[in-house]
């Protein structure tokens, strides 16, 4: 079934549903991957006493229709500029956050993921269906849509310190561009680190769970995660990153027992790499698109 828009762009409803299902699945898989230092998983809630795996499941399910809307938005504006698409995606993103908070009774489970996965869904809408299995093309479209976002939203901050978001404060203090910087650069950490590590681990016979937490650990050592940097305990953060880096050098995939030890240390220091978890979900989404798009009717 196809729906036509005023610009003569057509969207296949089955394709929209397919993309939204993979986006939702990536959120569900991300929270289920266990163990994850400081984060909610199947074993515990990390440092988050106000949420658990069921909170994330509720949030993920509530966002399914929003992912459909992101894809439809990309398709309806496919002949317009990338900036036009981005402007309309923002409005859907606001609605998605409201649905998330309603499903979780006010708890922020997926605000970062709504931004990154919403962008990818918008990119899917703008691209031909035959290119949905190409992560580089998808993320390049995200790059076009977010061009100038760091300058527009971070460099020109005029808010008082009290009204700044956590990300805005960290940019002002440390120059950390966070999720906006990743998006404007086309999410290079996913292309150069996340997907290659995931593919390599699976090729060597490791489970998706093991491959997933391996991707996460690598992200922790590379990404300036605003969720951790904001804790101010930089000496301990550097120490833990060094310890994780050492373990990653010893084997293709760190043992679950060792990751559990890191989990205890993250909990002791109130560290939760939420930004890295968002990038793990994005990596999984692109992996699913890359490996399963050929199974769908175009």
> How many CB atoms sit inside 10 A of residue 74's CB?
30
Whole-number pLDDT of residue 50: 95
Residue for token pair 């990596």:
283
Structural domain of 34? 2-295
Give the pLDDT confidence of 212-225 residue by residue, as tens digits: 999 999 999 999 87
Give the pLDDT confidence of 77-120 residue by residue, as tens digits: 999 999 999 999 999 999 999 999 999 999 999 999 999 999 99
Comparing 6-15, 169-178, 186-195, 246-255, the range with the smallest average pLDDT is 169-178
CB-based burial of residue 257 (10 Å sphere; 0-12 exposed, 13-18 middle, 19+ buried)?
exposed
Whole-number pLDDT of residue 120: 98
Whole-number pLDDT of residue 162: 47
Q: What is the mean pLDDT of the chain?
A: 90
Question: Taking 80 as the threshold, does the pLDDT of residue 9 lie above it?
Answer: no
Q: How confident is the model at residue 234 (pLDDT cuts 50, 70, 90)?
A: confident
Q: DSSP of the chain, one letter per residue? A: -EEE-TTS-EEEHHHHHHHHHHHHHHHHHHHHSS--TTS--SS--TT-TT--HHHHHHHHHHTHHHHHHHHHHHHHTTTS-HHHHHHHHHHHHHHHHHHHHHHHTS--SSHHHHHHHHHHHHHHHHS-GGGTT-HHHHHHHHHHHTTTHHIIIIIT--S-GGG--HHHHHHHHH---HHHHHHHTT-HHIIIIIHHHHHHHHHTT--HHHHHHHHHHHHHHHS--HHHHTT--HHHHHHHHHHHHHHHHH-SS--HHHHHHHHHHHHHTT---HHHHHHHHHHHHHHHHHHHGGGS--
Whole-number pLDDT of residue 110: 97
The predicted model gives 288-292 an average pLDDT of 97
Give the pLDDT confidence of 151-207 residue by residue, as tens digits: 877 766 665 554 556 666 666 665 666 788 999 999 999 999 999 999 999 999 999
Q: How confident is the model at residue 298 (pLDDT cuts 50, 70, 90)?
A: very low
Higher per-residue confidence, 229 vs 91: 91
Please state the domain count of the chain: 1
The predicted model gives 132-157 an average pLDDT of 90
Percentage of the chain beyond pLDDT 70 is 85
Measure CA 86 to chain center.
17
The pTM (predicted TM-score) of the whole model is 0.92
């Amino acid at each position: 079934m196809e729906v036509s828009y005023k610009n003569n762009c057509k969207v296949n409803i089955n394709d929209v549903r397919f993309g939204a299902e993979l986006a939702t699945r990536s959120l569900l898989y991300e929270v289920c991957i266990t163990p994850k230092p400081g984060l909610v998983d199947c074993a515990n809630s990390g440092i988050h006493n106000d949420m658990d795996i069921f909170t994330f499941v509720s949030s993920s399910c509530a966002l399914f229709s929003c992912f459909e809307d992101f894809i439809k938005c990309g398709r309806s504006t496919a002949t317009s500029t990338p900036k036009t698409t981005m402007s309309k995606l923002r409005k859907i993103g606001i609605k998605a956050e409201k649905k998330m908070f309603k499903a979780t009774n006010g708890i922020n489970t997926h605000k970062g993921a709504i931004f990154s996965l919403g962008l990818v869904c918008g990119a899917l809408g703008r691209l031909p269906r035959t290119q949905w299995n190409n992560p580089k093309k998808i993320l390049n479209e995200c790059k076009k849509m977010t061009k100038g976002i760091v300058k527009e939203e971070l460099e020109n901050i005029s808010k008082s310190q009290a009204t700044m978001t956590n990300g805005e404060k960290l940019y002002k203090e440390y120059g950390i561009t966070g999720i906006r910087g990743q998006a404007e650069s086309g999410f290079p950490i996913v292309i150069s680190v996340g997907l290659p590590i995931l593919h390599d681990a699976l090729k060597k016979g490791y489970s998706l769970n093991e491959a997933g937490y391996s991707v996460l650990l690598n992200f922790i050592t590379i990404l300036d995660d605003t969720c951790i940097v904001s804790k101010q305990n930089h000496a301990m953060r550097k120490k833990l990153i060094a310890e994780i880096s050492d373990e990653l050098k010893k084997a293709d995939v760190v043992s679950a027992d060792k990751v559990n030890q890191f989990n205890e240390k993250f909990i002791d220091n109130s560290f939760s790499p939420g930004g890295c978890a968002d990038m793990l979900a994005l990596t999984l989404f692109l992996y699913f698109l890359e490996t399963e798009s050929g199974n769908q009717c175009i």
